[in-house]
Chain A
Amino acid sequence: MHCGMCLPTCPTFTETGRERNSPRGRIALMRAVADGELPFSRDFAEEMSYCLGCLACTTACPAGVDYAHLLEIARSEAEQRGLLKTPARSFVRWLTLRFMFVHPRVMRAVGCLLWLYQVVGLQSLVRRLKLTAVLPRRIRELEPATPQIHPPFSDTLVAKNEPARCAKSYRVALLTGCVADLILAGVNRATADVLEENGCEVFTPRNQHCCGSIHEHNGDLDTARRMARLQIDMIDPFSVDAIISNAGGCGSHLKHYDRLLADDPTYAERATEWTRKTRDISEWLVEIGFRAPKPNLPLASTRTIVTYHESCHLAHGQKISAAPRAILRSLPGYELLECAEATWCCGSAGIYNITQPTTAAWLQQRKVGHLLATRAEVVATANPGCHLQILNGLRSADAPRIRVVHPIVLLAEAYQREGKR
Chain B
Amino acid sequence: MIDALKRLLDDKNVLTAAEDIIPYGFDGTATLKQRPLAVVFPANTAEVAAVIKLTREHKTPVVTRGNGTGLSGGSVPVAGGIVLCLTRLDRVLELDQANLTLTAEAGVVTQRIYEAADAVGLFYPPDPGSMKISTIGGNVAENSGGLRGLKYGVTRDYVMGIEVVLADGSICWLGSKCVKDVAGYNLRDLFIGSEGTLGIITKVLLKLLPKPAARQTLLATFAAMDTAAETVSAIIAAKIIPCTLEFLDRRTLQCVEDFAKVGLPRDAEAVLLIETDGHPAPVAEEASKIEEIARAQGATTIVRAANAEEATRLATARRSAFSALARLRPTTILEDITVPRSKLGDMIRFVNEVATKHNLQIATFGHFGDGNLHPTILTNERDEAEMHRVEHALKEIFDHALSLGGTITGEHGVGLAKKAFLKQQLGDSSYLLLQQIKRTLDPENLLNPGKVF
Scan A307-330; emit 1 where CB is below 8 A from any B CB, else 0.
000000000000000000000000
Say yes or no: A62-B320 contact (C-beta < 8 A), given A4-B69, A4-B133, A19-B68. Answer: yes
Which residue in chain A gives the minimum CB-CB distance to B24?
Answer: A19
List B contacts of A7 (CB < 8 A).
67, 133
**CB of B95 within 8 Å of the partner chain:** no
Assess the B22–A37 pair: CB atoms within 8 A. yes
Assess the A3–B28 pair: CB atoms within 8 A. yes
Assess the A4–B88 pair: CB atoms within 8 A. no
A47 to B19 alpha-carbon distance, docked (Å): 9
Which residue in chain B gives the minimum CB-CB distance to A28?
Answer: B23
Scan B242-277; emit 1 where CB is below 8 A from any A CB, else 0.
000000000000011011100000000000000000
Distance between B65 CB and nearest chain A CB, rounded to angstroms: 10
List A contacts of B132 (CB < 8 A).
5, 8
List B contacts of A64 (CB < 8 A).
258-259, 324, 326-327
A211 to B88 alpha-carbon distance, docked (Å): 43
Distance between A242 CB and nearest chain B CB, rounded to angstroms: 23
Within 8 A of A (CB), among B296-310: none
Say yes or no: A38-B323 contact (C-beta < 8 A), given A3-B130, A7-B67. Answer: no
Distance between B43 CB and nearest chain A CB, rounded to angstroms: 11
Q: How many A-B residue pairs have CB under 8 A?
A: 91
Distance between B6 CB and nearest chain A CB, rounded to angstroms: 16
Which residue in chain A gives the minimum CB-CB distance to B28?
Answer: A3
List B contacts of A3 (CB < 8 A).
28, 69, 130, 322-323
Say yes or no: A25-B23 contact (C-beta < 8 A), given A1-B323, A43-B17. Answer: yes
Assess the A61–B19 pair: CB atoms within 8 A. no
Assess the B67–A20 pair: CB atoms within 8 A. no
A29 to B26 alpha-carbon distance, docked (Å): 12
**CB of A24 within 8 Å of the partner chain:** yes
A3 to B258 alpha-carbon distance, docked (Å): 18
A43 to B21 alpha-carbon distance, docked (Å): 13
Number of interface residues of B (CB under 8 A): 38
**CB of B204 within 8 Å of the partner chain:** no
Assess the A24–B23 pair: CB atoms within 8 A. yes
Assess the A41–B87 pair: CB atoms within 8 A. no
Within 8 A of B (CB), among A1-57: 1-5, 7-8, 17-20, 22, 24-26, 28-29, 32, 37-38, 41, 43-44, 47
Say which residue of A5, A8, A19, A43 sits within 8 Å of B23 (CB atoms): A19
**CB of A63 within 8 Å of the partner chain:** yes
Say which residue of B17, B68, B323 sits within 8 Å of A63 (CB atoms): B323
**CB of B332 within 8 Å of the partner chain:** yes
List A contacts of B23 (CB < 8 A).
18-20, 22, 24-26, 28-29
Can you report 18 residue pairs joining A to B where beta carbons are below 8 Å apart? A1-B30, A3-B322, A4-B67, A4-B130, A5-B132, A8-B132, A18-B20, A19-B23, A25-B22, A26-B23, A28-B22, A28-B23, A29-B23, A38-B22, A43-B17, A62-B259, A62-B326, A63-B326
11 A-B pairs besides A7-B67, A43-B19 with CB distance below 8 A are A2-B26, A4-B67, A5-B130, A5-B133, A20-B19, A25-B22, A37-B22, A43-B17, A62-B322, A62-B327, A64-B324
